Amino acid sequence: MDYEQLLEEAEKEGLEIQEKQFQSNNIKGLYADGIIALNSSVETQAEKLCVLAEELGHHYTTVGNILDQSRLENRKQERRARAWAYNRLVGIVGLINAYRHGVRNMHELAEFLGVSEQFLKEALRYYCEKFGPYYEVDNYTICFDPLWIMEKQE
C-alpha cells in the first residue's frame, strides 16, 4: 500500500487531511474529530505513510483525548492504533509476500513494504510480543528477532 492509496481511503472515510508545520518536530501526526493533521516536517514518503496509517488507526480504534500517555487506558488505545497501522502496512502476509519476492534483509523489506525501517522494527517487536518469538502460518515459519522466514518443503 502506498501513501496515495491510504490517503484515498481516509478521504472515503470522510476524513479531512491537513499538512501543517507543528511547533514540535517530535509530534508527527494527530487525529481529532474527523481530521488528521500531519506534520509537514516529515521528510520521506515512507514516514508519511506510516504516520498517516497510525492516525487512521486512531480513527478506527480510539475514543476521546488520549494525549496524556501517563494514563494506562490512553497507552492501551495508542497501542491499538499502532497495531492497526502495523497490520495494515506490514502484516504477516506482507512479510511472506516479501520473502516470496526474494527480499532478504531489513532495508529491502522496508523498501518493499514502503515503510520506514524504524516502523518496520516496531512492527516486528509488536508481532514478537503478540505471537512470541516465531509464528507459523500455512507452510511458513516467521521468526521475528532476528527476522527470518522459512518455507516448509513437502
For the chain, what is the domain count?
2
106-113 and 117-131 helices, crossing angle to 10°:
100
Q: Do residues 81 and 143 share a domain?
A: no
Q: Do residues 96 and 85 share a domain?
A: no
| 68 confidence band (pLDDT: 50, 70, 90) | confident
Residue 71's pLDDT is 92
Span 92-146, pLDDT tens digits: 999 999 999 999 899 999 999 999 999 999 999 999 999 999 999 999 999 999 9
Strands (E), 21-153: 29-32, 35-39, 134-137, 140-144, 147-151
Q: What is the CATH number for 78?
A: 1.10.10.2910
Which residues have CB under 8 Å from 95's CB, separation 6+? Answer: 109, 142, 149
Q: Do residues 114 and 80 share a domain?
A: no
Residue pair 63/110 in contact by the 8 Å Cβ criterion: no
Residue 130's pLDDT is 97
Q: Do residues 23 and 69 share a domain?
A: yes
Span 140-150, pLDDT tens digits: 999 999 999 99
What is the identity of the amino acid at 88? R
Q: Do residues 13 and 81 share a domain?
A: yes
Span 5-45, pLDDT tens digits: 999 999 999 999 999 999 988 899 999 999 999 999 998 99
Give the pLDDT mean for 77-91.
97
Tell me which of 54, 89, 124 is where a domain ends.
89
Copy the grid coordinates of residue 151: 518455507
**From edge to edge, which strands make up the β-sheet containing 29-32?**
16-20, 35-39, 29-32
Per the structure, the complete domain to which residue 8 belongs is given by 1-89
Q: Do residues 78 and 101 share a domain?
A: no
Distances (CA, A) of 87 to 17, 94, 106: 21, 9, 17
Q: Do residues 105 and 116 share a domain?
A: yes
Question: Is residue 115 packed enough to be buried (19+ CB in 10 Å), middle (13-18) or exposed (0-12)?
Answer: buried
Q: Is the pLDDT of residue 153 over 90?
A: no
